[in-house]
Structure 1
Amino acid sequence: MSFAKAATADPIQSVSIPSYTRLTAKPDPHVAFTVSVSLPTRSYSIQQRYSAFTALQQKLAATCGAPPPGELPPKHPGSWFLSPFAGARNLSDDQLDERRQGLERWLRAILADRDPRWRSSRAFKDFLAAPPQGDAEGAADGATATARDWTAGAWTAEHAALEGLARQLRTTLDRRDTQLLANSAQAHSTAKEGKTQLVDLVRRVGDLARGLQALAKDGMTEGELQRRSGLVQRLQGEIEDLGRKTGSGPRVGAGRTGAAGNASAGEEETPTGARQALLSGAKAPARVLGAAAASKSLETPETRALDTGGIMQLQQQYMDDQDSKLEALTAALRRQRHLGEMINAELALQEDVLDQLETGTDRVKGKIKEANKQMKRL
């Protein structure tokens, strides 16, 4: 089993509501509940009011096809008779603490339920300002994890797996060359297998390189990061060599046909011609991709060894990586917004305290002035 399969599928490890705050700042005084979220690599807190919990429950019931497990704590009967502008902030501390515990049980019930549709929904993650769920893709011996799932041991295991995959790819290419020399009909399928392995190897090495960024954020020493960066560079050099080997060998199907146009005529290339092609090291003409007719921009060593399907798969991987980065950026901006709201609420609270202090100071000054007048009369 690969480390990605053993990792937790959901980035949210636990949630809790340790406290609440009465916000009296106008024009929207309310009670905010502090929600603490624990991720595999960090923890953070946001503040949500009770109405946000009820809105989330309605959204989950509408988008997931069924209401979430557990029940939200109902409004206190006494709050029904309060002014709509007062609401929960006029409840007692015991009543608010009871509501806090009920909201915490409700969130934990969603997170612990065997059915993942509620906790994996975008509405739930947006409510908690959580990063997008790490996606894993199956590969030869497992899958790679996104950068937020990397640990030192997982990185080492993935590096060892990629070294084994590189050796396996070299063996596949050697077998392809042998089959071409023997004019075997299996050469085409072997070459296609090698290209598929190369695409997977390129993708996973890219993930491995991005994993170093996560390890650096987790506090890995500079020396260890440099050592691992050297390992990645050597692996990338090995991949470039394998890419050249994939593209420099006899063309796929050369053992059976002299060219694609001669396939229908049944003209087969002799083993001697295939051997000469191998010894000469002749490379296939470089393709020009996209709007290359005007720019004459040739393909990179990464795409040179790939067929059209492989290039499309590599392009799709790049697009998926960009989408993942955009989702992570969106989650970070959402957390920044919550931090800004918390700072604004704290400033409003401090301003209210300063106003009360100023009012008390004026009252005390008035009393002192009146006392001084009486002292003078005495």
Structure 2
Amino acid sequence: MAPALHISVPTTSTATPQGGKPYTQYHVTLQLPLRKHEVRKRYTDFVTLNDGLVSQCGQAPPATIPGKSWIRRTVNNDALTEERRQALEKYLKTVVEADDGRWRSSSAWRSFLNLPSGTSTVNANGSLSATTHKQETGVTDPNQWLDVHRDLKTQIQSARTLLKQREAATTAQQQHALSAEAKGSLVRAATSIAQLEDGLKSIQTASKGDDAGWGGSKRLGDGEIRRRRDLLGAARMEVEGLEGLLRSMATKTSNASSNVQSGAVASSGDKAALWKGTSAAKPGGRVLGGPLKETERTRELDNGQVLQLQRQVMQEQDEDVLSLGKSVARMKDMGMMINEELIIQNEMLGMVEEDTERVQRKIDVAREKIKTIN
């Protein structure tokens, strides 16, 4: 299902045209999955929209716009401005949430929201239609594409962290909550990948001289497009690996729960007996190139998931090595500081020793003089 379209009129402002009277603008906001699309309309634009919907669809929308006041003005009346803002927001939401989608399919509606021409803006269930949603959410600006990709990496890292916490959780409630949060991050990551793929296709089309669609695009070279496609491929593999790891955790928890409830926990001897007398029996002694022993982390994983787990472990080891390198560098700096301090202390001790010798010589001379006097 396509993500729901949220439309609202959260704020207003006052605009003063050059040489004209000030008027109130209503900020109509469409909340998309990764960004907001905002248009500013005045009251007369809403009246024009309503007239266009009636003329094109042959029937008025299920809601009515507030009437025009000939005495009061919203520019100098905050209460009237807020009342009209709420009424106009209700009018737009009613059109969006209506079961009949003909008003949303009209050119008057798309022109009012500054949307591209195409199919219905919103389905009957209040969600974006597939064609229009693809045009609206495709990231066609190269700079914005990189920003969304950075958000994608953050979502993947968040999912990986949640899965680590889920593996260390001790209660079923904590495991369930962390699994739900990790699943949400993975779903958002998958959505971002789809949007980046659509945007990259539009950018590639624009680079060849075709029309890039709504939002515009800048040209990119073939090498940069291939690099970004490789980034998406790596991100997709990482997301699929984390999804497989999440499923294996859920299966493992489910099996553990059923075993505890039934009391049918297989022992290591029972597991070894399953291999006796079969062609797949484990050979005795040393086997060159033989598979490594299964662990609790890899038992429920397939080959792709084991590879993903190995990459994750290698990444963690790299991070540990970097942290260890920083600690060694700090210890080196501390050692150099201690060495400099020891050199200074040795110089001070040498000065004290010289002063001691000089005083001792003076004492010896004084003793000789005393002996002479006696």
* Pair member with larger Rg: 2
The normalised TM-score by structure 1 is: 0.38
The normalised TM-score by structure 2 is: 0.38
Question: Relative contact order (C-alpha < 8 Å, sep 6+): which is higher?
Answer: 1
